[in-house]
A and B are shown apart, each in its own frame.
Chain A
Amino acid sequence: MLLPEFEFHEPTTVSEACEIMGRLREKARPLAGGTDLIVNMKRKLILPDCVVSLAKIEDLQRIVRENGFLKIGACVTAAEIAASDDVEKAFGALAQGARVLGSPLVRNLATIAGNVVSGRPAADLPPALMVYGARAVLAKTSGERAVDLNDFFKGPGKTVMEPDEILTKILLEVPKGHCGGSYIKLGVRQTLEISLVNVAAFIALEKQDGPIREARVVLGSVGPTPIRATSAEELLRGQSPSDALFARAAKAAAADAKPIDDFRGSAEYRRDMVDVLAKRALTQALDRATSR
């Protein structure tokens, strides 16, 4: 399978990369891990004149913890996220998502930015990021903006990004107090699987045995973008956690899902599985919240 011809640029700073993207716009594509872009280019689905590698931009290769935020650079790989103590401690759902993305070989290449900008409805990292209120920093020559991931996805493969923008990092505010998250993926096999359904949940408690201060539930692969299960979240907020409450919230999440029938699974099955997985994810998130 031959790659089409293209020009290759390897800028060493974000501003240099933005300058190239600003000049070439749709004709150029940023390259991070390549596990999506290279495949799509081989399949002739994306045919850029120019590929702009982000690998030589130092700032984008690191996870930095500062001022109560975790800043994950665009080129940080799924394997690096899975191995990060900072991620594991504060963002358990994200660590879980990173551990089930692709295969061990893919995880050594695939990056957080790639998993977000590709805008796939079944992607593993966006639901986990969304329950923590993650924001994507988008840079271009005229400056940068931070977009809440809840407002980022517009449809399969579609996002709010402009052709001259580069996702440079993901910002995560480290949650305080008794809180925990969980991410569960369902597929028909364990590796190299596109989720049939995935669910991320986050619970913050008023105090260790107290009512729920904040709850977030995000459903993947059951709509054109990852979906916030807002009716489940409303139902949980202010209540004391219990199995019965989680069962009701999971039913509400299933009602929020907008699954379709396809060759991987029926809409009916997917909706049922949202119910099952949401309950499990909430239970795990609560376990983590009370043990923190």
Chain B
Amino acid sequence: MKKLIRLNINEKDYEIAVKPNQTLADVIRYEIGLTGTKKGCEVGECGSCTVILDGKPVNSCLVLAVQADGKNILTIEGLETEQGLHPIQKAFIEKGAVQCGFCTSGMILSAKSLLERNPDADEKEIREAISGNLCRCTGYQKIVEAIASVKDQRSVS
């Protein structure tokens, strides 16, 4: 039986009827149509489905959509504003931290969560924060450099 749930995704309210066996990742992609959230392993190991749920990055493939009722969700599409791309998104482009791009949404959301918590994160902390996000192009070095460069910009300004 479908259940009516409310989601606030990227500061927009949605009211949507979902079946209990639909995951949050599936609802975001197929019902809402925000396909920046990727599905890779679907068992919580790759991090490509990362979204920020009530302020915390989680694997959306492991969350039932019905469990997210009433919660705030940030997906990669919510980072760009009228002023343009988010500083972390810009840094990923500038540092060449995107290869195939499949892990990028999750990497950026994990990085955002880290830098909000700890704007002066060092390399070890950056690597730890993205350790649940796998890049199978193995482009970690540039990803770490990109995240560190956002931190550097902040400390300069």
Contacts and interface: CB of A to CB of B under 8 A. Distances in A.
Interface of A: 1-8, 10, 31, 33-35, 38-39, 42-43, 51, 53, 55, 79, 102-106, 108-109, 190-192
A6 B62 contact: no
B64 interface: yes
Interface of B: 1, 3, 19-23, 42-45, 47, 50, 53, 56-59, 61-64, 66-67, 110, 128-129, 131-133
B43 A8 contact: no
B64 A8 contact: yes
Contact of B110 (A2, A7, A104): A104
B56 A6 contact: no
B20 A51 contact: yes
**Closest A-B pairs by Cβ, 7 of them:** A103-B132, A8-B20, A191-B131, A105-B132, A3-B21, A108-B56, A1-B42
Contact of A192 (B19, B20, B132): B132
Nearest to A77: B56
B35 to A, nearest CB: 17
B128 A104 contact: yes
Contacts of A38: 23, 61-64
A190 B131 contact: yes
B3 A8 contact: yes
Nearest to B41: A1
Contacts of A43: 43
Contacts of A39: 43-44, 62
A105 B58 contact: yes
Contact of A42 (B42, B132, B133): B42
Nearest to B21: A3
A102 B20 contact: no
User: Which residue, of A4, A31, A105, has the highest number of chain B Cβ atoms within 10 A?
Assistant: A105
Contacts of B67: 31, 34, 53, 55
Contacts of B44: 35, 39, 102-103, 105-106, 109
Nearest to A5: B21
A47 B128 CA distance: 34
B50 A42 contact: no
Given A35-B62, A192-B132, 4 more contacts: A3-B23, A8-B66, A108-B53, A108-B57
B21 A1 contact: no
A10 B43 CA distance: 23
B56 A79 contact: yes
Contacts of A7: 1, 20
A109 B21 contact: no
B43 A1 contact: yes
A104 B42 contact: no
12 contacts: A1-B42, A38-B64, A39-B62, A103-B45, A104-B131, A105-B47, A105-B50, A108-B53, A109-B44, A109-B63, A191-B128, A192-B45
A105 B110 contact: yes
Contacts of A33: 62
B21 A102 contact: no
Nearest to A104: B132
User: Which residue, of A1, A35, A38, A106, has the highest number of chain B Cβ atoms within 10 A?
Assistant: A38
A43 B43 CA distance: 9
A190 to B, nearest CB: 7
Contacts of B42: 1, 42
Contacts of A34: 62-64, 67
Contacts of B63: 34, 38, 109
A39 B43 CA distance: 5
